[in-house]
Amino acid sequence: MFIKTFNYESNCVRYRDCYFDIGEYVNKKMSLDIYGYVEDDENISHISQVTTNVSEELAENQIVIDNDNNTNIISFLLDLGIVKAIPKRVAVKKADKMVLLPVAEIDLETLKQYSYVEELKYAS
């Protein structure tokens, strides 16, 4: 399956041929991570965790974006067409402090275009 990739830059480091890995937290909320290549490295690396787990009720198309350490991630997701709106913020405890993180409504179809999806093959 062909997926779209993207280039990404954070903290003056350039990443290439990046994609999203969609997962699920224990409480069934969507988790999202970025994987790709760091500059000229030939090995795939975990680049960034995009989401954080929360106990709040979220719709299927909502995620909580962890922009506490990655301040440009929301504008980047908006540019890709993945984030459609940010209807609210939720308080999340990180380390020993409380931070307000955005709840984003996402376009699931656009996200899937940029995501690695493992297709299971069944043996006959």
| CA–CA dist 100, 105 (Å, integer) | 16
Q: Classify residue 121: in a domain, yes or no.
A: no
Residues of the chain with pLDDT under 70: 1-2, 118-124
Evaluate whether residue 39 is within a structural domain: yes
pLDDT of residue 115: 94
- The verdict on residue 13 lying in a domain is yes
The whole-number pLDDT of residue 119 equals 56
Span between the terminal Cα atoms of the chain, in Å? 21
122 found inside a domain: no
Structurally, the chain folds into a number of domains equal to 1
Q: Does residue 73 fall inside a structural domain?
A: yes
